[in-house]
Amino acid sequence: MKSKAFVALAVLMSTRILVAAPASSPARAPTLPQVDHVVIVEFENIDYANAMAQPTFSSIAKNGANLSNFFAETHPSQPNYLAMVAGDTFGYKTDSNVNIDARHIGDLLEEAGKTWKVYADDYPGNCFLGARSGAYVRKHVPFLSFKNIQSNHARCASIVAGTELKSDLSAGTLPNYSLYIPNLNDDGHDTGVAYADNWVKNTFLPLLKSTLPPRTLVVFTFDESSFFGGNHIYTAFYGDVVKAGSTFSNRTDHYGFLRTIESLFGLPDLGKNDANAAVIDGIWNLDPIAD
């Protein structure tokens, strides 16, 4: 027969084990607003500090939400665009045309019954897969790098000339997700950041002011910094769904950005680098219609 002391010791040890190994609580999911539209406007090759020194880019960041610690993944441009829409650079390290058999955010959107479109300035149309036409370059239109877009005319038709954004806004047919790609002049690639800043002020912002639907997030961002800029890039969220004058200072990148867009639309992740990326939070206006 076991002694009373032995029994007491066994009870004490089991109690300590239970106390020492409590069940872990799940991580808190960020609270996000209802967002019906996301419009991403992409610029080129400028360091964060240089973009913030421009009057229009600075004003957008100060009156919207400034993602002050946003970094691109690599150089040159194209792999960063791939990361932004597909959660991976797929090992590519050049701007040469690539043809990738993989999923991207366009797949997730369509599977959820949502719409997407790319507005690309000077795009020739008809699923043009050439590297360049005038001031248009394919490397800045990442969806054209995926075989399931290239081989499907109906899906390829979601890539249109930049001029169609105005008509879609006027007609109330803005897709849920859109990527606006200025040409090599207006994105600052061939002209510099001051030129791009002036284009935003005089061409792009006036287009939005009278026709932007409610619950729309507009993102102004760059693909990469200059080669020696550490890849710290300007990104600002703008629109009624963000707190004016807010800042997200945690380090993030195109993977965190992609995961945030997925979460705003209630989409799953792609199982790439987006899967474990943190959602951008703390800068949202949770009830924009009430304002």
Per-residue pLDDT of the chain (291 residues; tens, 9 = 90+): 444 433 333 333 333 333 333 443 344 568 999 999 999 999 999 999 999 999 999 999 999 999 999 999 999 999 999 999 999 999 999 999 999 999 999 999 999 999 999 999 999 999 999 999 999 999 999 999 999 999 999 999 999 999 999 999 999 999 999 999 999 999 999 999 999 999 999 999 999 988 899 999 999 999 999 999 999 999 999 999 999 999 999 999 999 999 999 999 999 999 999 999 999 999 999 987 766
The correct CATH number of 32-290 out of 3.40.720.10, 3.40.50.1000, 3.40.50.261, 3.30.379.10 is 3.40.720.10
Is the CB of residue 279 less than 8 Å from the CB of residue 256?
Answer: yes
Q: What is the DSSP string of 52-73?
A: HTSHHHHHHHHHSEEETTEE--
Is the CB of residue 266 less than 8 Å from the CB of residue 260?
Answer: no
User: Looking up tokens 């987006």, which residue turns up?
Assistant: 274
As given in the structure block, the two tokens for residue 12 are 């004490």
- How do the domains of the chain map onto residue ranges? 32-290
Q: Read off the pTM.
A: 0.90
